[in-house]
Structures are given as C-alpha cells and as structure tokens.
C-alpha cells in the first residue's frame, strides 16, 4: 500500500511524464491541422505533401502515446522509468525528420536520466542549429541562391556536428554542481559559436565555464537552481527556443537568404500558391512571402527589444529615483508620469508618428514613450520595498553614498520583476509594431515586416488568404513564445513561490 | 448639534493647516475673512505678554550658565562619535557642530520653561484664528466673507468627500497635462499641414491665409490656450481638411466606439470570471491547463489578424456574418466585439485565477474551512469577493487600452469610430482632430478609472479605514 502511494508520488513528480502527455496531445492537434488543410473543400483536391506530413505527425503521436503508457506503467509498478522505455526515446528522435520539435525535445528528455540545465541547453542548441539549417535549406528549391549560401551552409553544418558532439559530452560528463576541467576548452568554442545568433550556445558555454573553472560554490548553486526552475517548465523553454531560433535565423539569413527575393518585384510570378520554391507563395508583386517573413523577423525582434529596453532604462531610472528619494520628488515624477499613463499606448504612438512621420526609429520612440510609466511604477514599488530592508539600512549606517546604495544594493535586488515584466511586454511591443504597420503607421511599406506583409495580404483575403495567414502565424508564435518565457521566468524568479 | 459643527470645523482647520497644500487653499478661499481677522489680530497683539516673559526666562537661563553645560556635554558626545567611526574631525569642526546643537537645545529649553512657568502660550495668527472659530457669534458674522473656506472645510472634514475631491482634482490636472502634451507633440511636428492640404503649388499668400484661418500663425502659448479652451468648451473649431466641425464629428463617432468597447468588456467579464474561478479551484488540472493555454493564445493574437481570420471564415467561407459593421445591424457587431474583447477576456481570466489562487492560500481561508464551511461556501462568501478587487482594477486599466486599441479593429471591420477617425486624420496631420480624439479618449479613461477608485472607497473596508487614518 505504502509503495503504491510512493509510486503515485513518483508519477506526479516525474519530469518526463507530464511532458510526454503534453507531447502526444500537441502532436495530435498539429496532425489534425495538417489533415484539415490537406483537403481542399472547394475543389476537392488532395495535397499529397500536407497529407504526408499528417501521416508523419500521426505516427509520432501514436509512438508518443505508446511511450507515455509505458512510462506510466513503469512509474506505477516500480517508481522509476525503466531503461527499456528510455531507449524508445532513440526511436522517437526520428520525429525530427518531420520537424516535430515537441516530440524531439521529449525524446531527448527521456533518453538522459540525469537532467542538468546544461543538458537542456545543449539539446536546444543542437535543435536550433538543425532548424536553422532546415529553414535555410528551403532556398535550394529556388531558381538560384545567394553567393554565400554554400559556404555558410557548410559552416553551419560543421557547427551542428560540433554541437552534436558537445551534446553527447555534456550528457556523459556534466553533473549537478561541477564539470571536468577539460570542459572549459570546449566551453570557449561553444561560446564562439554563439555568434550565429544561437544564444543557447552562449548559455551553455557560460554555464560550462562556471562549473568547470569557478570554485565559488554558492554562485554555481544559485545559477544552477535558477535555470533548473526555468528549464523544468517545458513551455518556457519552447518559448525561449522559438525566440532564439528567430534570432539565429535573423543573423544567418544575411548569408543564406537572398534579400532580392523579399524586395525585388518579379511580375512573372505574381500571387503564386505555396510550392517548394515558394513555401508560403508570392504576393502581388511576385515577392517570395517566405523570404519576406524570414527577413521580417529581424525588424520585429529589433523593434520589440529596443522599444522594451528604452522604457526599462528610462522608466526604471525615474521609478528608482521616485522610490528612493523624498516624497516630494516622488510626487513630482509620478504625477508627471500619470499624464503619460492616461493616454493609451497605441494612441500616443499614433500621435507621435502623426507628428514626426512613419519610420522604424520613430516607431521605436513612439512605442517606448508610452510604456515608460508602467516600468516606472513597477520599479518604484520594488525600490520602495527594497530600500526598507535591513541591508540597505546597514549600508547607509556604514556611510555609503546614496548613488552607491542605489546601484549596488537597491537596483540589483529589484531587477527580477522588471525582467519578468519586460519579457511579458516584448510580445505586446511586437503586436503593436505589426498593428501600426498594418495601419500604415509603422515601418516603411517597402521593408519586409510582418505587419506590412499582412497589410498586403488583407487585400487578397478572398482569393489568396495564405498571404494573410502565414505572417499572422509568425506574429502569434513569436508573441506566444515571449509570453510563455515570461510566465516561466515569473514562476522561477518570483520569491513568493519559494 | 451646533456645537459639534464648531468642533468639526476647528478640528478640520487644525488638521488641514498641517499640510502646506491645504493651508494655501484655506487662506486662498477665505481671503476676505482672513484679511479682516488679521487686522484685529495686529491690534490685539500689542498687549501680549509672551515675548516679554520669554526674554526674562532667556536671561535667567543664561545666568545659570546653561550654555556652558550644554556645550561640554555635546562636545563629549561628538568626540566619542568621531572616535567610534574613526573619523578625523578638526577641533573647529567639532566646535561648530556643538555650537549648533547648543543653540537648538537652548531655544527648546527657553520655550519649555516659558510655557511651563507662566502658563502663557505663544499667540500666533493661527492660534488666534482657531480660538475665534470656537465662538458661534464669530461663525455667523464671518459666514458671508468666508463662505468658500467653510465649504472647503466641510468638504475635507469628511474622509470620503475629501478623497473624491482629491481624486477629481488630480484627474483634472492629468487631463490638462494630456492636453498640453498632445498639443506640444503636434506643435513641434516638422510637417506643415498647410502645404499638405493646399498642395505643392500653393502660393505664399494662400499658405498664410490658411494659417491665419486656423490660428497657426499665433505664438505657441496662445495656440495652446486656444486648444485647451476648445477642449473644455467642446468647441475645437473646424478640421483642416474638409472643414467639418471637429467636436460634432467626434460626438458622432465616439458612441460607436464606446458601445463596442462596453459590449467587449461585458463579454469579457461574463466569460473570463467563471473561467478564472473554475481554473483556480482546480489548479493544474487538465481543464485548467487548457483554459490558461487558450488564454495565453488569446493574449498573443494581434487584433487585426484575428479580425481578418474571422472575416475569412465567417463572412467569406461560411457567409454567416457581415464582414463590415453597419450601425443598425446587431449581427455585424458580433465579430468586432469578440475581436476587441479577446485580449481583455484572456487577461481577466489569468488575473482572476492568480488572484483567487493567492487568496485561497491565505490564513483566513483556512480559518473559514476550519470553522466548518463547505468549500463552495468558503469560495463564494470569503474568497471570490476579495479576489475581485485587483481584477476590477485590471478591467479599468484595460478598458483604456481597448479604447485606444480600437483603432486597429475599427480599420479591419470598416467601423466609422473614433479610432479610425484619428488614424484617417493623422496623415495631414489635422491637429484639432487628432488632439480632440486623443484627449477625449483620455478623459473618458480617466473618468472610468476615477469611478472605479471611488467605488473601491465605498466597497473595500481596507481602503475605507486607511482613508480615515490618514
């Protein structure tokens, strides 16, 4: 009886089991979407490629369902997942061929019993690299490729092989709190590969360096516990994965994609339906929508990050001063910010753009100004709380200057809510960017930006709806990723949940 | 009864006098009264004994050698302090600091002794006026010159009224600030509306005439004053292009946006609150995860894309609903309302869940369970009401965002509302139209938030008690 109870606990506490459950559900949903889209109701035609995808995803779903069942049985019978079941993960790795990142991640998670944040980083670093190569490889179906295509693909492949090797090494050698000294050399090379935009390499490299070189045990433990919490939330990691994938694509697309396909008019190929050469079709000027979306990621990320970073700094500074200094300073700053707060962000942005014209710089400024007050309020509340703590009092009693107290004691201790908030609002900034572009008030119309692509697509809604559907999906995926990551960070960083 | 009125007046005057803002207001509103009373005060002060007594006491104390005693004590303290903190202070520095402390201490002692020994109090204008306020005859006599001040006093004697008044004044300042900000942004714009409207071929005279008609040749402050006055009097003049009356076009378009926004809020509340409560009572269950997943997707969908997909599916493919909005047709309102309300629904559901989850783990809920309440009794009697408080704040804040964000939805469904009006006017830029649209929306939002704050003051006992304490 007691053992049964114990095993039930094992089921609940298992890291793999909930993810396995989630994986088969999401695979099933995606396969149903493929099924619905493989058949055109108006013409009665079957799209064999989409149908093949459906079959592949359905197969993955059944395999995953089978694995999930075995995991449940193992856990209930013995309290641990058996080696045999874990080996099924190698079979499930085949789902990578169909691009099912959920199943692949679950498989990697299943294969390795010892889970360190480094293993998760390594897995997603490898997956990001694979996806970058897969997306870039779509260019091979184009009539021609850019000059640097072959070289950069070769470099990417070499890096991928290296990443695979690192993944195996990490799985075998890295433990909870330390790593062999020899890993430091590898870590430096891993850090170097982060220039491709694959920030998982940056995380992994840093983490490995820390564990192999540093003797500061508490620092390692702090880092480990924080990432352990974040990586336990698989949705947050998927969010991070998609954001980093977009970033890596933005960086590598400079060398693997031809910008001409995205901006040059090609009147011989107007409004083509999706095909291998044009995966998302072409628009009314014959421009390849797939390339446009890939290049659009750059703008969305740039505007999203910039229009979050500026108000974080400005609002954080104002809020910090208001919270730390006297009531009078506080009142003056906060009442002035109340004025900004009373105007809805989009309207203020429209007014600013109306005054100074529509371009990317003005867009960033317009979006930044509107969100200064929210960050100032968050920072002020944190600073008010933190500056009442004993360690601040003791710093003051030791005669530390105000500036030093603010930057050394107060700010570092009130950053966590700001980070969470900014992650959650980058998504909002991405939506606002595309909304304003859709209204013709954002990025200049000739630049490939997701809102601009949608704006063109919306005029062909009746005849060529894919023009509006794909950029919209890209926006949703990116925003959703930021929201998932933000939720994950909040759960991990919120001290109340400790 | 009458006596209590005097007591209230006196107490309120005392309290309000302590805050510089209110002190200023009290003297400003009662200028005629205070002038009169001050004259009497100057006449009466002549036979005051306080100053004389104080001088006596001061001499006595100086005679006793108090200063030297104080000085020695303070010097020793300062030396000890410097030694402890290992600070190197020069002798002069210590002397200077000690002298300062001695002065303060001596003055204190003098005042204390004067009041203690002779029972005389220092008469200031303030104490003189307070003593007058106690007399019924004075009140009746001063009612005419001081009526504004008494109204103010009565207003701030009640914490509720005081709170409402403060919030109102604050809102008025915010609205004026919004007006100044938006006008200034448009004023420093590098664009020239005159040449945008008249075309490139316009002559200097035509441009000058245009600028004169619309008052664009006036100095900044004059234009700003006109704009603010226009907003307050609902007379914004005519728009640059098409010369329509801006105030009346805004008055025509605003109700459309407002109705759609209100229906969206209603929809959001009706759907999100039950979902939030359901999710919070079964945390991490399958349905909870699904609901929250859907809510997160709802937060991540751009309005315009959702609108386009709705039009594509429900209007073009299925032909169920009209693709564009027409004022009389209720069916055409369904899609805009859902699209505008999706984000709000998702936020409220998430907020409701987290707020209720937090409350369910509070100690008093455990007490409620311990005293034998069933789960549903505990939930409905103790938890939901308290969990609603932050949710209502979020609704108020999001409502503003919805009015602002309505521009996008209105463009998608071709609704002639205030949002699309502003967007249409911004290409010129049509300063009165943009300014009027933005500022009136900001006013509406401020009023809604003001209303919510006042509602709180009545409903939430914690805020009530905090108000009374302050």
Q: pLDDT per residue over B146-160, tens digit each?
A: 777 778 877 777 778
Residues A336-366: pLDDT tens digits?
898 888 888 888 888 888 888 888 899 999 9
Mean pLDDT over residues B329-345, rounded?
88
Is the pLDDT score of A242 beyond 80?
A: yes
Nearest to A343 among B170, B173, B178 (CB): B178
Question: What's the pLDDT tens digit per position in B200-211?
Answer: 777 788 778 777
Same domain, B131 and B252: no
Residue A498 scores a pLDDT above 60: no
Query: Is residue B425 within 8 Å of residue B433, measured between CB atoms?
Result: yes
Looking at B123, B139, B157, the residue that finishes a domain is B157
Q: Which helix (H) or strand (E) holds A399?
A: none
B261 in the same domain as B405 = yes
Q: What is the pLDDT of residue B1?
A: 44
Whether A475 and chain B come into contact, CB under 8 Å, resolves to: yes
Q: Is residue B234 part of a domain?
A: no
Residue A481 has a pLDDT of: 94
User: What are B312-327's pLDDT values in tens digits?
Assistant: 888 888 888 887 887 7
* Chain B: closest CA distance from residue A216 (Å): 32
- Hey, are the CB atoms on A343 and B296 less than 8 Å from each other? no
A residues 289..348 contacting B (CB < 8 A): 335-336, 338-340, 342-348
Q: Which of A350, A351, A480 sits opposite B300 (nearest CB)?
A: A480
Residues A354, B426: C-beta atoms closer than 8 Å: yes
Average pLDDT, chain B: 82
Q: Which residue has the higher pLDDT, B264 or A50?
A: B264
Per-residue pLDDT reduced to its tens digit, B168-200: 888 899 999 999 999 898 888 887 777 777 777
First to last CA, chain B: 25
Tell me whether residue B466 is in a domain.
Answer: no
Q: B48 falls in which pLDDT band (50, 70, 90)?
A: low
Query: Is B181 close to A352, i.e. CB distance below 8 A?
Result: no
CB contact under 8 A, B407 and A472: no
* Range from A177-191, A318-332, B41-55 carrying the lowest mean pLDDT: B41-55
Residue A407 has pLDDT above 90, yes or no: no
**Which residue out of B188, B250, B305 would a mutagenesis test of the A interface target, given it has the greatest number of A Cβ atoms within 10 Å?**
B305
Question: Could you tell me the two tokens for A188?
Answer: 């430096």
Mean pLDDT confidence for A255-270: 80
Average pLDDT over residues B51-78: 80
Kindly report the pTM of this predicted structure: 0.85
CA distance A79 to chain B (A): 22
Q: Is the dihedral of CA A145, A146, A147, A148 positive or negative?
A: negative
Claim to verify: residue B298 and residue B149 sit in the same structural domain: no
Q: Which of A346, A351, A468 sits opposite B308 (nearest CB)?
A: A468
Token pair, residue B115, equals: 């009041």
> Is B265 found in the same domain as B137?
no
B143 in the same domain as B27: yes
**Whether residue B292 sits in one domain with residue B412:** yes
Look at residue B106 and tell me whether its pLDDT is greater than 90. Answer: no
- Please report the pLDDT score of residue A165 as a whole number: 92
CA B421 to CA B440: how far, in whole Å?
Answer: 13
Mutate to test the interface with B, among A347, A369, A398, A438 (most CBs of B within 10 A): A347
> Has residue B470 been placed in a domain?
no
* Burial (CB count within 10 angstroms: exposed 0-12, middle 13-18, buried 19+), residue A416: middle
Distance (Å, whole) CA B64 – CA B70: 12
ipTM higher than the 0.90 cut: no
B400 chain-A contacts, CB cut-off 8 A: 342, 344
Tens of pLDDT along A170-190? 888 887 777 788 888 888 999
Question: What are the pLDDT digits (tens) for A115-128?
Answer: 888 899 999 999 99
Burial class (CB in 10 A: 0-12, 13-18, 19+), B36: middle
Asked if the structure places residue B283 within a domain, the reply is yes
Mean pLDDT across chain A, nearest whole number? 86
Question: Under an 8 A CB cutoff, do B442 and A343 touch?
Answer: yes
CATH number at residue B290: 1.10.3720.10
Higher pLDDT, A149 or B129: A149
Residue B187 maps to a domain: no
For A406, the token pair is: 């603010």
Q: How far is A309 from chain B (nearest CA, A)?
A: 20
- pLDDT at res. A2: 65
Angle, vertex CA B181, rays to CA B176 and CA B183, nearest 5: 95
In a domain, B122, yes or no: yes
The residue whose two tokens read 């369910």 is B360
Range of the domain at B9: 2-157
Give me the residue from A336, A344, A480 closest to B401, CB to CB: A344
Contact by Cβ (8 Å): A474, A297: yes
Residue A141's CB is within 10 A of a number of other CB atoms, namely 12
What is the pLDDT at residue B119? 58
**Interface contacts A/B by beta carbons within 8 Å:** 144
Domain boundary among B134, B157, B180: B157
Cβ neighbours of B442 in A, within 8 Å: 342-344, 347
pLDDT, greater one: A366 or A16? A366
Confidence of residue A439 (pLDDT cuts 50, 70, 90): confident
Confidence tier at A497 by pLDDT (50, 70, 90): very low
**A487 neighbourhood in chain B, CB within 8 Å:** 296
User: Is the peptide bond between B429 and the residue preceding it cis, with omega within 30 degrees of 0?
Assistant: yes
Interatomic CA distance for residues B17 and B27, integer angstroms? 10
How large is the average pLDDT for residues B26-38?
Answer: 79
Span A273-300, pLDDT tens digits? 777 778 888 888 878 888 889 998 988 8
Output the pLDDT for position A178: 74
CATH number of A260-497: 1.10.3720.10
Inform me whether the pLDDT recorded for A496 exceeds 70: no
Q: What value, to the nearest 5°, has the Cα angle with vertex A442 and ends A441 and A444?
A: 100
Residue of A nearest to B190 (CA): A356
For A176-233, how does the pLDDT look when each residue is reduced to its tens digit (9 = 90+)? 777 788 888 888 999 999 998 899 999 999 988 888 887 788 888 888 888 888 888 8
Task: Assess whether pLDDT exceeds 90 at residue B36.
Answer: no
Domain boundary among B157, B179, B205: B157
Report the domain count for chain B. Answer: 2
Note whether A61 contacts B: Cβ–Cβ < 8 A. no
Residues A380, A383, A385, A387, CA torsion sign? negative
Same domain, B104 and B251: no
């Amino acid at each position: 009886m007691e053992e049964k109870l114990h095993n039930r606990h094992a089921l609940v506490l298992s890291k793999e089991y909930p993810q396995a459950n989630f994986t088969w559900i999401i695979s099933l949903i995606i396969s149903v979407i493929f099924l619905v889209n493989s058949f055109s109701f108006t013409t009665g035609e079957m799209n064999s490629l989409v149908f093949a995808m459906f079959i592949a995803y359905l197969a993955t779903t059944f395999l995953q369902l089978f694995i999930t069942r075995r995991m449940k049985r193992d856990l209930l019978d013995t309290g641990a997942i058996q080696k045999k079941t874990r080996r099924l993960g190698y079979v499930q790795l085949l789902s990578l061929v169909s691009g099912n990142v959920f199943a692949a991640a679950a498989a990697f998670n299943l294969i390795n019993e010892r889970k360190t944040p480094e293993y998760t980083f390594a897995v997603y670093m490898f997956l990001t690299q694979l996806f970058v190569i897969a997306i870039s490889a779509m260019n091979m179906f184009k009539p021609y490729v850019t000059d640097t295509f072959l070289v950069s693909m070769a470099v990417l492949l070499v890096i991928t092989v290296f990443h695979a090797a690192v993944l195996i090494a990490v799985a075998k050698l890295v433990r909870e709190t330390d790593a062999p000294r020899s890993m430091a050399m590898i870590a430096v090379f891993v850090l170097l590969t982060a220039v491709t935009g694959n920030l998982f390499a940056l995380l992994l490299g840093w983490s490995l360096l820390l564990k192999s070189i540093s003797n500061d045990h508490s620092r390692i433990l702090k880092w480990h516990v924080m990432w352990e919490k974040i990586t336990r939330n698989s949705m947050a990691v998927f969010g991070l994965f998609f954001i980093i994938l977009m970033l890596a694509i933005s960086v590598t697309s400079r060398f693997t994609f031809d910008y001409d396909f995205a901006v040059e008019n090609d009147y011989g190929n107007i409004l083509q339906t999706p095909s291998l050469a044009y995966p998302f079709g072409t628009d009314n000027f014959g421009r390849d929508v797939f390339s446009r979306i890939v290049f659009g990621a750059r703008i969305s990320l740039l505007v999203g990050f910039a229009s979050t970073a500026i108000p974080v700094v400005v609002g954080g500074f104002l809020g910090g001063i208001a919270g730390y200094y006297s009531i009078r300073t506080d009142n003056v700053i906060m009442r002035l910010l109340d004025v900004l707060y009373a105007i809805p962000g989009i309207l203020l942005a429209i007014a600013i753009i109306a005054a100074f014209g529509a371009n990317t710089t003005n867009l960033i400024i317009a979006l930044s100004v509107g969100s200064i007050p929210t960050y100032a309020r968050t920072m002020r509340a944190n600073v008010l709380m933190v500056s009442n703590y004993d360690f601040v009092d003791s710093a003051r009693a030791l005669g530390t200057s105000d500036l030093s107290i603010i930057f050394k004691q107060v700010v570092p201790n009130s950053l966590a809510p700001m980070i969470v908030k900014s992650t959650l609002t980058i998504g909002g900034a991405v939506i606002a960017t595309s909304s304003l572009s859709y209204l013709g008030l954002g990025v200049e119309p000739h630049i490939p930006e997701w809102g601009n692509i949608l704006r063109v697509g919306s005029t062909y809604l009746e005849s060529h709806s894919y023009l509006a559907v794909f950029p919209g999906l890209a926006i949703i995926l990116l925003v959703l990723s930021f929201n998932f990551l933000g939720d994950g960070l909040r759960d991990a960083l919120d001290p109340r949940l400790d | 009864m009458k006596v209590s009125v005097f007591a209230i007046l006196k107490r309120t005057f005392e309290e309000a006098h302590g805050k510089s803002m209110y002190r200023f207001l009290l003297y400003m509103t009662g200028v005629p009264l205070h002038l009169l009373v001050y004259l009497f005060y100057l006449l009466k002060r002549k036979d005051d004994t306080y100053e004389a007594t104080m001088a006596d006491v001061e001499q006595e104390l100086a005679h006793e050698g108090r200063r030297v005693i104080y000085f020695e004590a303070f010097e020793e303290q300062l030396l000890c302090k410097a030694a402890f903190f290992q600070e190197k202070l020069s002798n002069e520095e210590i002397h200077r600091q000690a002298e300062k402390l001695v002065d303060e201490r001596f003055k204190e002692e003098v005042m204390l002794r004067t009041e203690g020994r002779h029972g005389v109090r220092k008469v200031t204008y303030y104490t003189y006026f307070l003593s007058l306020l106690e007399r019924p005859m004075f009140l009746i006599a001063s009612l005419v010159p001081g009526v504004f001040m008494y109204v103010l006093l009565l207003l701030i004697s009640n914490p509720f009224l005081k709170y409402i008044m403060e919030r109102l004044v604050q809102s008025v300042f915010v609205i004026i600030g919004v007006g100044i900000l938006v006008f200034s942004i448009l004023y420093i714009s590098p664009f020239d509306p005159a040449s945008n409207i008249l075309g490139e071929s316009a002559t200097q005279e035509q441009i000058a005439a245009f600028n004169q008609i619309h008052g664009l040749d006036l100095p900044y402050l004059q234009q700003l004053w006109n704009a603010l006055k226009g907003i307050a009097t609902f007379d914004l003049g005519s728009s640059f292009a098409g010369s329509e009356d801006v105030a009346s076009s805004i008055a025509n378009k605003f109700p459309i946006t407002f109705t759609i926004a209100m229906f969206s809020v209603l929809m959001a509340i009706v759907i999100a609150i039950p979902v939030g409560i359901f999710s919070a009572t079964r945390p991490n269950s399958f349905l909870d995860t699904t609901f929250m997943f859907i809510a997160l997707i709802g937060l991540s969908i751009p309005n315009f894309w959702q609108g386009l997909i709705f039009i594509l599916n429900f209007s073009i493919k299925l032909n169920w609903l009209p693709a564009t909005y027409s004022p009389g047709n209720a069916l055409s309102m369904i899609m805009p309302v859902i699209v505008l309300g999706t984000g709000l629904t998702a936020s409220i559901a998430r907020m409701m869940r987290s707020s209720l989850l937090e409350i369910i783990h509070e100690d008093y809920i455990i007490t409620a369970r311990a005293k034998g309440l069933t789960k549903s009794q505990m939930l409905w009697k103790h938890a939901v009401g308290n969990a609603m408080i932050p949710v209502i704040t979020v609704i108020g804040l999001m409502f503003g965002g919805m009015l602002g964000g309505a521009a996008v939805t209105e463009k998608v469904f071709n609704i002639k509302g205030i949002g699309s009006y502003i967007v249409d006017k911004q290409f010129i830029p049509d300063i009165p139209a943009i300014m009027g649209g933005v500022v009136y929306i900001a006013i509406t939002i401020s009023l809604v938030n003001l209303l919510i704050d006042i509602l709180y003051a009545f409903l939430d006992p914690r805020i009530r008690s905090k108000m009374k304490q302050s």
